Amino acid sequence: MANPLDTREELFRQLRDFIDRMPSLSTTVTKVMEVCNQPNTSPNDLNRVIALDPVLTGHVLKLINSAYYSLPNQVTSLTRAIIMLGLNTVKNLALSTAILGTLGKEKSQCFSMDTFWTHSICVGVTAKALAAEKNVPVTLREEYFVTGLLHDLGKIPLSNCFPEQYQQALDLADLQRCSLVRAEKMIFGFDHRLTGKMIGEKWQLNPAMLACLTHHHNPEAVPEDKQGLVSTIALANLFANIFAIGSAGDIHQEAPVVEQIIATAGTPWSRVSALLDSVQQEIEKAQIFLQIAKE
């Protein structure tokens, strides 16, 4: 009889190999991240990098002219788009469309990818709305959206590498009415947060995003300087799951975890649930991210 520990180590090795084979982010996107992380970067610096990539240029212009931003006049100049959106937002748009371009076309035998991405968009939109509630500066709110959009990436390789075992985890979570994280740990010995962390490290995401991929079910575990973003993503994820907007397989919420997340985020649930109507309207606008990724 196989030792469960040996089996888990073998599963982890296969998962590591799968993630190692995943495409890296494009040279342009990597350069965009580098340029935006330099303290004295100007819109012209970013313009020079993006202008060399016609696909990314098209994505930025398509996004700024979409209902997501609802601008009164069409923007045709890349430089103007960068000035209007701000460096941080353009960096996040470049990153999200690149990642969705890589993983947005993936299929899963275990759950519908349409409902998975609806869930992900809902978390992004809700996180951005919660950031506005908390008076997070406008220039930083797009990071909340993008991080929410990407928070569950770890489920994709996990369910694609091991569809049979992942289905067992989904069935077990339903049978025991427990969180999917708990069921994943029972089946695999690890869960999608670890897989998300591995992907984030491969793509060299910033420490705050990495913390969200790793701790969106336990935000109390992160250092205080990252807790604002992580606890907001955790709360937005809870919102999407409780109101069943899309689904990434996490149907049952455990009361102690729910209470801990709400306490850590420091936002009363009544204020969170009041966002429902506006979030549903914003989800429609944010579908543009998936449309661009599938082009």
Q: What is the DSSP letter of 10?
A: H
Quote the CA–CA distance of 182 and 184 in Å, as a whole number: 6
Handedness of CA 228, 229, 230, 231 (dihedral sign): positive
Confidence grade of residue 1 (pLDDT, cut at 50, 70, 90): very low
Q: Which of 2-16, 90-104, 127-141, 260-274 has the lowest mean pLDDT?
A: 2-16
pLDDT of 109 higher than 90: no
Mean pLDDT across 257-282:
95
Q: What is the pLDDT of residue 3?
A: 45
Check residue 170 and give its pLDDT.
95
Q: In which residue are the tokens 């969180």 written?
A: 179
Which of the four pLDDT bands, split at 50, 70 and 90, describes residue 167? Answer: very high
Measured CA to CA, the distance from residue 264 to residue 266 in angstroms comes to: 5
Name the class of domain 13-24+107-293.
Answer: mainly alpha
Give the mean pLDDT of 196-215.
93
The answer to whether residue 88 scores a pLDDT higher than 90 is no
Q: Report the range of poorest mean pLDDT among 34-38, 63-67, 291-295.
A: 291-295
- Residue 47 or 23, more confident: 47
Tell whether the torsion through CA atoms of 103, 105, 106 and 107 is positive or negative: positive
pLDDT of residue 4: 54
**Rounded mean pLDDT of the chain?**
90
The DSSP string of the chain is ---HHHHHHHHHHHHHHHHHHSPPPPHHHHHHHHHHTSTT--HHHHHHHHTT-HHHHHHHHHHHTSTTT--SS----HHHHHHHH-HHHHHHHHHHHHHHHHHTT---SSS-HHHHHHHHHHHHHHHHHHHHHTT--HHHHHHHHHHHHHTTTTHHHHHHH-HHHHHHHHHHHHHHT--HHHHHHHHHSS-HHHHHHHHHHHTT--HHHHHHHHHTT-GGGS-HHHHHHHHHHHHHHHHHHHTT-S-SS-----HHHHHHHHHHHT--HHHHHTTHHHHHHHHHHHTHHHHHHT-
Q: What is the pLDDT of residues 124-151, one digit of tens each?
A: 999 999 999 999 998 889 899 999 999 9
CA distance 46 to 27: 14
Give the integer Cα–Cα distance in Å for 201 and 182: 23
Q: Are residues 230 and 211 in contact, defined by beta-carbon separation less than 8 angstroms?
A: yes
Tokens 């990314």, residue?
56
Name the amino acid, one letter, at 39.
P
Write down the pLDDT at residue 140: 87
Share of the chain above pLDDT 90, in %: 64
Q: Rounded to two decimals, what is the model's pTM?
A: 0.92
pLDDT in tens, 224-263: 999 999 999 999 999 999 999 999 999 999 999 999 999 9
Distances (CA, A) of 293 to 59, 63, 96, 103, 265: 9, 11, 9, 9, 31
Given a cut of 80, is residue 2 above it in pLDDT?
Answer: no
**18: pLDDT strictly greater than 50:** yes
In this prediction, residue 200 carries a pLDDT of 93
Average pLDDT, integer, range 209-234: 95
Q: Per-residue pLDDT for 6 more than 90?
A: no
